[in-house]
Chains A and B, each alone.
Chain A
């Protein structure tokens, strides 16, 4: 009974072709996050939603966008993927922000850009 579900597990896209990654949660958590993890590196926060409030990290490229149409779903849109965007993309949720709200991660979507 997976609680944070990411689809697909593997995604291949072409250079410059828009791609959307999906995340859903059954935890009814307020906060949803998107992390980018390149090979042998730590996950890097791209942005998060606190309910409907979108929070972008300062160094997240404009090429990355996100949508949260409801509590359960969150999407990551990459408008024009470059070779450097190949990575594992991790979705996470937390009940709230701050202490005592640890993150719950999905299994990730591995994106390949050809």
Chain B
């Protein structure tokens, strides 16, 4: 069965510290991979996506993610966190088969930033 796991429910970091949010997936074939961010009371915004090619992808707001096929992971990173990054982050694989479309969201990781 297809699944996505975000093992950290809540992470707290100090402003200026580095950040890594974990995401692992279990799919028959390598899915397309997305990270979305949701600020409180808002909809979701796309941070970055991976389809193929370079395994390190750059996104908006200084975020990047690295696809590691051997580990079935797509971890999100930022070298220096800003207070405005406090939000909830969702990893979302998407089946890559013909006619597939459904995005499956992980349960999310809530990020708190200490000033």
Knowing A42-B108, A45-B102, A45-B103 are in contact, say whether A107-B51 is a contact too (CB < 8 A): no
Q: Which of A41-76 contact B (CB under 8 A)?
A: 41-45, 48
Chain B: interface secondary structure? Answer: loop
| Size range of the chain B interface in the assembly | 20 to 34
Q: Which of B17-25, B36-44, B64-72, B76-84 contacts A (4 or more CB under 8 A)?
A: B36-44
For residue B103, which residues in chain A have a CB less than 8 angstroms away from its CB? 45, 103
B43 & A99 in contact (Cβ 8 Å cutoff):
no
Number of CB contacts from chain A to chain B under 8 A: 53
B96 & A99 in contact (Cβ 8 Å cutoff):
yes
- The CA of A99 and the CA of B32, in the complex, are separated in Å by 7
Residue among A41, A43, A44, A48 making CB contact with B44, cutoff 8 Å: A43
- The CA of A40 and the CA of B40, in the complex, are separated in Å by 11
- The CA of A40 and the CA of B90, in the complex, are separated in Å by 11
Knowing A42-B107, A100-B51 are in contact, say whether A105-B102 is a contact too (CB < 8 A): no
Using a CB–CB cutoff of 8 Å, the interface residues on chain B facing chain A are 32, 34, 36, 41-46, 49, 51, 90, 94, 96, 99-103, 105-108, 110
11 interchain pairs, CB-CB under 8 A = A42-B90, A42-B105, A43-B90, A48-B101, A98-B101, A99-B51, A99-B94, A102-B46, A103-B103, A107-B41, A110-B41
Using a CB–CB cutoff of 8 Å, the interface residues on chain A facing chain B are 4, 6, 31, 40-45, 48, 90, 92, 97-100, 102-108, 110
Shortest 8 CB-CB contacts between residues of A and residues of B: A105-B43, A97-B101, A42-B105, A105-B44, A107-B43, A102-B46, A42-B107, A106-B43
